[in-house]
Amino acid sequence: MDDIGAFLVAYQTTIGTIGINALLALSVWLTLYTGQLTLGNAAFAGIAAYSSALLTLKAGLPFPLALAAGAMLAAAVSVPLGATVFRLRGVYLAIATLAFGEVVRVAILAIPITGRGQGLVGIPPKTELWHVFASLVVIAYVCARLRSSSVGRAWAAIREDEVAAASQGIPVRRYQLVAFVLGALIAGWAGGLAAHFDYAIQPDEFGFARAVQILVFAVVGGIPNVFGPILGALLFTALPAILQPLQEYRDIFQGAILVLVIVFLPRGLVTVFELRRTARLRTMGAEDVA
Amino acid sequence: MADQIYNAIFIGSIYALFALGFTLVFSVLDILNLAHPALFTLGAFTALFAMQQGVPAALAVVVAFVVCGIAGVALDRVAFAPLRARGAPPLSAMISSIGVALIITRLIQFAYGPDFQSYPAGSLPAAVYSLAGVELDTLRSVIIACAIGLMLALTYLVRRTRLGRELRALAENPRAARLLGIDVDRAIAATFFLSAGLGGVAGVLYGFATNSPFSQMGLAFELKAFAVMIVGGMGSIPGAVLGAYLLAFGEIASLAVLPSELRDAFAYGLLFIVLLVRPAGVLGRRPPDRV
Amino acid sequence: MNKSILGVLGALALTIAACAGATTNGGASGSPAATTAAKPDIKVGAVLSLTGVGNVYGPTQRNGLQLAVDAINAAGGANGAKLQLIVEDDQSTTDGGITAFKKLTAQDRVTVIFGPTLSNTAVAADPVAQSAQTPVIAISNTGDGIVGKCDYGPCDYIFRVSLGESAAIPQTVKTVKAKLNIKSVVLMYAQDDKFSSDGFAIFKKNLTSAGITIKKEIAFSKNDVDLSGPVTQALAEDPDAIVDSSLAGPAIKVLQEVNRRKPGLPVIGGNGFNTPAIAKSAGAAAEGAISGAAWYLGNPSAENKAFVSAYKAKFNADPDQFAAQAYSAVYVYLDAVKRTPNPTSVLHDKLRDQLALTTGVSTPLGEVSFNASHDVSQQVYVVQIKNGQFTPIN
């Protein structure tokens, strides 16, 4: 047990990061499930990370309250943002949320209280592994239930064909907004957890690169069910640790995995457990839709 | 003031060169090719390699164009064509391109390391001259001229040649294009050859300007390219050019008006406003309402 | 299917968390050191950025460490015991750094950790070593808050061999004021990079207290593709010099632009200037650039000459400051270890105490001591690029 104990202590951070990344991937999954490509969730995580950290650091707020406040703030910001950008589609929506992310990053750099380019340091390390995994289990469960409920079916309908869904009486904008705001809430919760996991945060951690990273977790993991994004987050976060002896080639492996999965497992890595279903869909020419 | 105008023209030219290739692939194939920055970097390093073997700078640019063009075609074969064959959504292609970018960048790092490199001493013009009271330099003037030349050449190609007509048909409706007898595969290969070649040339010229090519040099342009495309008009070649110069002039102008910390906010704030007010951009004609 | 797999997931998560919780104390229950005829190896660890954005610095640091360890072992080791170097890659991320620190302290039980490469990683990972009571010798962190007074609490196990900017910059400012009679500057800096923002604050403080007027502060982004705009704006203020707090990439661009518009105007920088890449890329434009350094290649001291030729022989390239600081850190450690009874013991408080007493160790950096804040005390070389080489001017 001592060796296992030492192993767990050493990789505690990686395990925690897997959990946080899984939460972020789930937040993106929600919007992808409704057919929206958004790149703003890293920024929502950043907003919540900074606000919750400042609340515990400067205002001495208890950890759970600060987490909740951060997540709520992210969700609150997402409402007007979502309302404004949903008239855009596809790539335009993605770029608009990307632009939003950049504006957030610049704001963090400009506001003195965030520590600006020097980052925010000395954050009390309150996040424990059980916080992360309890959150993950609860949120994954909620997402899974939503998916198999009428809300989830509406989302899937919107994803397939927005016009057809609208003609069936589904209030498209409202359902999209719900997914978007829920995604922001989850991303914010994850951001708050992340801020209190590492003693310090930097604006760079929540920028374009991070947004792309969590998008990759979700898409490569797979959209059909909630295990997809979790699997994607697990694989890519653990990859550096797994590839330790080959770390010089890590980027090459990561790149190759991305291309191979997208080309050969179109609905994501998680579909490797349901290859027969994919083959059946392929005969219908529908293998890229969940 | 004249100094700053010259600076803006130079920066705009570099943005435009980068964005041209990026926009070309997007307009014809709806793909956001996130491997474009890696091809940009590949161009700079191909030229470096050539010049280290004694090839003169001007010829090295041509070498970079060809090598990157071929790399672009290969990229399509490996990462995009299989997706196209089964009608995958553009998001898949974007993710696939991220994977290829990682690989290309890492390979460049294996060859040259992650640190800044420099072109062989004396291989680049270093003269400075005065024009109407403004200090100009040969190197950047040549780069501006090349950029404008390439933009004109590409516009001519798209507007006046048969290949250009084929590309425009392909952009409008791939299925109809095939029905009309257009060799779609050849047209797509040409698209990637041109796009990657232009990206590579942009990389060389930028590498020359800074004399400090390094494996991650494309990253800084990636985000700017989005802003350029949107502001100027998605999928429009002249739009990309216009967007590039608008962005560059805006960034320079904001130095005088905004506190310097907020300069980036200008670019992305502008981008955001354009998307909301006129998503098609200044020159765009493509309807942004496609799902 | 949904519910049962979720159940398994939950159970698994709780199991992992429980085990981790039970062993959060750093696993300090080690076995006693074996007493055999040959002395056991002394394990030394290093956490370096070998991949990721910091990988410009990591590899030469590893070279410096390896060179020193090999030389020490060839000369008989530390009181007869050989040093065993274990290098971990932190991928330039804080998570990677924390994981590497935990692995080195909990699994490998090293006696010291050299690194991590980046200051961002240090502020997150050093607390791990502090609570594991393992000394850390920083070899490239130059910001504030690394040693002495740390934001996370007591940090008496953390030491630093890399010259802090708060020690180098005052010397730089003093020298340029005295030698070049600088009275006014424009202060430019990369605002989205921790090193550069830290440097900006230190420059601002020291320029002001030296009575030098800062005519304008111009922020730019480390990702700006071209800096001709900000530099033109800076030159419009007609300063005696431009101060640029940034890493090498932006510095090259600033030097190039200044050389186009106002050749000969002094450009002053921090530790970001101390890399040969600047002279190679900026060429003639780099001539005259001034910075404060912990080391320079041409230092004619016997220590440095031996180091440079050994490095060249083994790695076929000139060493850089990162390699020199890494190399010197190992000798500082050696000096302390020789004075520590039973260095491979589980507790390292005696090693820490001996490190704190480090005085006048001869290294390629010069004579190195630790002050009361466990920070390096050494000669600051204010260097200027002349004919492509760093040459001291103080």
Task: Show pLDDT as tens, one digit a residue, over chain B (291 residues).
Answer: 888 999 999 999 999 999 999 999 998 888 899 999 999 999 999 999 999 999 999 999 999 999 999 999 999 999 999 998 888 888 889 999 999 999 999 999 999 989 999 999 888 877 777 777 777 888 899 899 999 999 999 989 988 998 998 988 888 888 888 888 888 899 999 999 999 999 999 999 999 999 999 999 999 898 888 888 888 877 778 888 988 999 999 899 888 888 888 887 777 887 778 877 776 666 665 554 432
pLDDT for C214-246, tens place per residue?
A: 999 999 998 899 999 999 999 999 999 999 999
C36 falls in which pLDDT band (50, 70, 90)?
Answer: very low
Report, as an integer, the average pLDDT of C286-304.
95
Let me know how long chain A is: 290
Cα torsion for B196, B198, B202, B205, to the nearest 10°?
120
Q: How far is CA C123 from each of CA A121, A190, C149, C250, C272, rounded to the nearest angstrom?
A: 8, 21, 12, 25, 20
Q: What is the DSSP string of A135-163?
A: HHHHHHHHHHHHHTSHHHHHHHHHHH-HH
Residue A288 predicted with pLDDT over 60: no
Mean pLDDT, residues A11-30: 92
Give the residue, A117 or C203, on which the prediction is more confident: C203
* Phi, psi dihedrals of residue C119, rounded to the nearest 5°: -65, -35
Contacts of residue C227 in chain B, CB cutoff 8 Å?
none
Query: pLDDT per residue over C51-94, tens digit each?
Result: 888 888 999 999 999 999 999 999 999 888 999 999 999 988 88
Cβ pair B103:A252 closer than 8 A: yes
Instruction: Report d(CA B161, CA A69) in Å as an integer.
Output: 60
Q: How does pLDDT run across A194-233, given as a tens digit for each residue?
A: 999 877 888 888 999 999 999 999 999 988 889 999 999 9
The average pLDDT across A181-204 equals: 92
Residue of A nearest to C151 (CA): A122
Q: Where are the beta strands (DSSP E) in chain B?
A: 128-131, 134-137
Look at residues C12, B102, B32, B99 and name the one whose alpha carbon lies nearest to residue A230.
C12
Q: Is residue C214 helix, strand or coil?
A: strand
pLDDT (0 to 100) of residue B283: 67
User: CA A108 to CA A110: how far, in whole Å?
Assistant: 5
pLDDT of residue B290: 33
Task: Read off the pLDDT band of C201 (50, 70, 90).
Answer: very high
Tally of CB atoms within 10 A around C300: 6
- Which of A87-96, B185-194, C27-36, C251-260 comes out lowest in average pLDDT? C27-36
Tokens of A68: 């909740």
Name all chains with 3 or more CB-CB pairs below 8 Å to chain C.
A, B
Question: What are the respective helix, strand and coil percentages of chain B, to the nearest 5?
Answer: 75, 5, 25
Q: Looking at residues A157-165, what average pLDDT do you find?
A: 87
pLDDT at A278 (0 to 100)? 65
Residues C127-146 have a mean pLDDT of 92
Q: Please list the alpha-helical segments (H only) found in C103-193.
A: 119-131, 165-180
Is the model's pLDDT at C17 over the cut of 60?
no
Cβ partners under 8 Å of residue A141, min gap 6: C6
Task: Name the closest residue on chain C to residue A141, using Cα atoms.
Answer: C6
Two tokens at B210?
């800074």
C377 bridge partner residues = C369
How confident is the model over A28-37, as a mean pLDDT?
91
- For residue C256, give both structure tokens: 């190039």
From chain B, the residues in CB contact with C275 under 8 A are 115
Strand order in the sheet with C361-363: C361-363, C366-370, C376-377
Query: What rounded mean pLDDT belongs to chain A?
Result: 88
C-chain residues within 8 Å CB-CB of B264?
A: 221
A253 vs C: CB within 8 A: no
H/E run at residue C219: strand C213-220
Q: Please report, rounded to a whole number, the percentage of residues in chain A having pLDDT higher than 70.
A: 95
**Model confidence at C10, in pLDDT bands (50, 70, 90)?**
low
Nearest by CB to residue C26, choosing from A7, A9, A140, is A9
Residue with token string 């590949």: B42
pLDDT at C23 over 80: no
CA A162/CA C82 separation, integer angstroms: 70
Between C27 and B21, name the one with better pLDDT: B21
CB-CB contact of C154 with C85 (8 Å): no
Q: Is residue C5's pLDDT more than 70?
A: no
In 3-state terms, what secondary structure has residue C301? coil
Answer yes or no: are the C-beta atoms of A233 and A18 closer than 8 Å: yes
Query: For position A2, what pLDDT does the model report?
Result: 66
Which of A84, A102, A163 is facing B223, going by the closest CB pair?
A102
| Local structure of C42: helix, strand or coil | strand
Determine contact, residues C163/C142, Cβ cutoff 8 Å: yes
Q: What ipTM was estimated for this complex?
A: 0.91
Q: How far apart are the first and last CA of chain A?
A: 43
In sequence order, the β-bridge partners of residue C136 are C113, C158
Secondary structure element (H or E) that encloses residue A92, with its range? helix A90-110
Residue of C nearest to B5 (CA): C229
pLDDT at A194: 93
Q: What is the pLDDT of chain C when averaged over all its residues?
A: 89
Which structure tokens are listed for C111? Answer: 């006696």
Rounded Cα gap, residues A55 and A66, in angstroms: 6
Residue C20 has pLDDT above 50, yes or no: no
Cα–Cα dist B25/B195, whole Å: 7
Chain mean position to CA A268: 16
Q: What is the pLDDT of residue A217?
A: 94
**CB of C128 closer than 8 Å to CB of C106:** no
